[in-house]
Structure 1
Amino acid sequence: MGITLPEALLLAFFLETLFYGVFLTLYWLTLVILLKKCGIQRVLFIPVATLLLCIATAHLIIDLVRALEAFIFSVYTIGANTYYSNLASPLELAKTALYITQPTIADAVLVWRCYVLNDRSLLVGILGCIVLLTNAVIGYYVVWSLSRAGMGSTVYSTVPGLISTFYILTMLISVICTSLISWRIYRHSKSDGPAAFLPVLIVVVESGILYATSVLALLLAFLTGSNGQYPAMDIGPPIVGIVFCLIILQVHFHIGNNAQPNSSPKSFSNLFGEQGEQNVGHGMEPTAMHITEDMGIIQFDVMRSQRFSGDDC
């Protein structure tokens, strides 16, 4: 027996709350790290992470209000099933618009990272922007179509083709951009030493797989007509934020704490389009390599085995 609509949305609210708690924790850890960074990391990534958190928070608040309406305030008038079946409800439209906005923002950062890492290729940038904008237009058109849906309508009778297209394009953006970034890292690892680049490759692939898998689960649930699509959809906003923060945190803690002392600053700077920095003084200290996300990509800042002075900024 399939799960009913009220049961699916109640489960969705529980899972969304759980994943939101994970996202909130990772956000504060990421914020502490980014506040110690300079330049584009503070200018871009802090606002993006904060915006993703605000969208996830608004999405969760809307689901809380809807749950209260369905199971408490309107339970004896229209019932939970009828309440949730109203696709044109303002709160339903608002949460759907937020769901579309969240991955659009994250995918925009991913496309930009891919563009920068691939030597600022216009082909990559233009094609990525076209696909991204097309997906956003499709998503917001779906919201407009839902606003005109009458009572008794379902998501399967309201532009189901466009809904499937949105999920597929979202997944393809993640897979293709992750593949291009991974290929770029792999290419340089062959000449500059795989040991140094392998951790970065693992971080990129793991994050891309997590994001793409969540969208794939949602797509399969939708295509099979299962109400399980609602839990998969409602965990989407916090999942997007979790993936965004995980890249920064894994690079900072996992890779940075396992740096190789013989890494070449030249190879890293060549790969990521930045100049390596050397701070020269007197005396010797152990080498430290910090890997951070800079210019939308993972930049390596290798500090040589000399004593250095001054702040990071």
Structure 2
Amino acid sequence: MTPDRRWTAKDLGDLTGRKFIVTGANSGLGEVTARALGGAGADVLLACRDTAKGDAVARSIGPRAHVRRLDLADLESVRSFASTVDSVDVLINNAGVMAVPFRRTADGFEMQFGTNHLGHFALTGLLASKVTDRVVTLSSGLHQIGRIHLDDPNYERRSYRRWPAYGQSKLANLMFALEFDRRLAAVGSELKSVAAHPGYARTNLQGRTESFQDTVMAIGGKMLAQSAEMGALPELYAATSPEVTSGLYIGPDGRSELSDYPTIVGPSSRARDRAVASALWSKSEELTGVRFAPVGG
């Protein structure tokens, strides 16, 4: 159901007793999300690669916020983190990298595909039986420029291009969320899989290209982007609203979904390709070694 009015963090209600994991919560959208959840009374686990920054955020939130190290670019770290979690109501797959120079993860994956998609795929698979309510996975409006190259997802034979690589990773995020929903429905699970995207928001995700594009994005961000607080609203709504059902994609309701308040938006035709989504799932299991255990109702 689409919100019948402009939904904001003030509409979170009382989240006392609810437990959330937010990946990448040491800065940007993740930090805003963690602060909003903690401010509403939730217990928040900040899953961060940079635990020093995470600790600073957690201290500002209060005693219900805790930090644990998670490096999504290292499957050993993902497994270690998952082993420490007993139960959680909501997992928010928020962390990501954007348009970085060509690098590989600890396991040899292209950094954007490995961090944004494979790391979260593995994390969700390892935690799925411990999540009681829903999984929210962040995509991007730039998923529309992506294509899933199942024969070479990690740029072992193709020439690396940072923006198409980012688009592939964000398309993979969205396809994963939708495919997870279909698989949950097939076994009658009450667990929800929801996708969200922030529109164009000012965060430190921009400015990591290590090229002239950093300057261009900094200027564009100041002139055109909405605040991180506004950009976090779709994931907050997706993670907390009782009106959200599994399989939805939540984004801003403004022009071209670049800004404004959360609403239901539509995935691209590529994101709705079930055959590719199923093949991507199988490829992701193969690459990560993580297979999802059945999650019943």
Pair in the same fold by TM > 0.5: no
Higher relative contact order (CA 8 A, sep 6+): 1
Structure having the larger proportion of residues in strand: 2
Q: Which has the larger radius of gyration?
A: 1
TM-score w.r.t. length of structure 1: 0.28
TM-score w.r.t. length of structure 2: 0.29
Structure having the larger proportion of residues in helix: 1
